[in-house]
Amino acid sequence: MKITSIEKQKKEGRFNIFLDGEFAFGLYKETIYEFGLRVNDELDAKKAEEIKTRDEIGFAKRVAYRFLNYKQRSEKEVRKKLKEKKISEKAIELVISSLKDLNYLNDEYYAKLYLQSKIQRKPEGKRVLKIKLTEKGIPKDVADNIISEQYPPETEAQKAAELLKKYEKKVRAKSEQEKRQKCYRYLVSKGFDFDTINELLKAI
């Protein structure tokens, strides 16, 4: 097969490749430069498939790098992003493996950063944090270990107390019984355990 034409698409950086006068596939300019493709070059089926595969992997890597450039992501989030771009499972696996080898993708590190951010900016109880971490694809045992290390009971109790102090202002006009009920439900909704909540409510 002979490349008879390389035509620019409307999409920026994308080109149509014609073999023997017929459209064969699209490629990004980076792939064309990498393989040094020119009109009149000969391609067999195996080489054409190699070029298409390399093009897809290159695109997948660019998508992943841009996605990771804003902030740390979990493996599950990166996989979801690549699937949204209609990238094949084979290409996704290769890119995920490459990102892990380069340490651009590390679920344990991601979980630590996520937990630190939540504790500092918008604290919640261990129960809710475990759920949120597992929803992001963090294995349960990893989530449990990191929460145990990064969020000891005394810190959790301190954060619950800080939230309760702010919330009390909203219910100060309520009766004592209603105030306790609302504070209790509020802290439960934030994921704090019952023992921690009961200890705090004794002070009200």
> Taking a C-beta distance cutoff of 8 angstroms, is the pair 123, 163 a contact?
yes
Task: For strands 14-19 and 3-8, give the pairing.
Answer: antiparallel
Q: Looking at the domain assignment, is residue 49 inside a domain?
A: no
Q: Looking at the domain assignment, is residue 181 inside a domain?
A: yes
83 & 113 share domain: no
How many C-beta atoms lie closer than 10 Å to residue 190's C-beta? 20
Question: Where residue 76 sits, what CATH number does that domain have?
Answer: 1.10.10
Question: Where residue 33 sits, what CATH number does that domain have?
Answer: 1.10.10.10
Q: Looking at the domain assignment, is residue 171 inside a domain?
A: yes
Q: Show the 3-state SS of the chain.
A: CEEEEEEECCCCCEEEEEECCEEEEEEEHHHHHHHCCCCCCECCHHHHHHHHHHHHHHHHHHHHHHHHHHCCCCHHHHHHHHHHCCCCHHHHHHHHHHHHHCCCCCHHHHHHHHHHHHHHHCCCCHHHHHHHHHHCCCCHHHHHHHHHHHCCHHHHHHHHHHHHHHHHCCCCCCCHHHHHHHHHHHHHHCCCCHHHHHHHHCCC
Mean of the pLDDT values across residues 28-52? Answer: 91
Residue 168 lies in domain: 155-204
Render pLDDT for 111-150 as a digit per residue (tens, 0 to 9). 999 999 888 888 899 999 999 999 999 999 999 999 999 8
The single residue listed with the structure tokens 């002979």 is 2
Mean of the pLDDT values across residues 19-31? Answer: 91
Mean of the pLDDT values across residues 36-46? Answer: 90
Q: Looking at the domain assignment, is residue 51 inside a domain?
A: no
Give the number of domains in the chain.
4
183 & 201 share domain: yes
21 & 8 share domain: yes
pLDDT of residue 64: 96
129 & 115 share domain: yes
Render pLDDT for 153-190 as a digit per residue (tens, 0 to 9). 889 999 999 888 888 888 777 777 888 888 889 999 99
Q: Looking at the domain assignment, is residue 2 inside a domain?
A: yes
Name the pLDDT band for 202 (thresholds 50, 70, 90).
Answer: confident
170 & 202 share domain: yes
pLDDT of residue 165: 87
Q: Looking at the domain assignment, is residue 191 inside a domain?
A: yes
Q: Looking at the domain assignment, is residue 52 inside a domain?
A: no
- Residue 203 scores a pLDDT above 70: no
Render pLDDT for 69-100 as a digit per residue (tens, 0 to 9). 988 899 999 999 999 999 999 999 999 999 99
pLDDT of residue 180: 84
Q: Looking at the domain assignment, is residue 78 inside a domain?
A: yes
Render pLDDT for 46-72 as a digit per residue (tens, 0 to 9). 999 999 999 999 999 999 999 999 888
d(CA 66, CA 79): 13
pLDDT of residue 138: 93
142 & 180 share domain: no
- Residue 204 scores a pLDDT above 70: no
Nearest 10 degrees: Cα torsion 29, 35, 40, 46: -110
pLDDT of residue 132: 92
d(CA 62, CA 48): 21
pLDDT of residue 178: 82
Edge-to-edge strand order for the sheet containing 14-19? 3-8, 14-19, 22-28
204 & 161 share domain: yes
112 & 143 share domain: yes
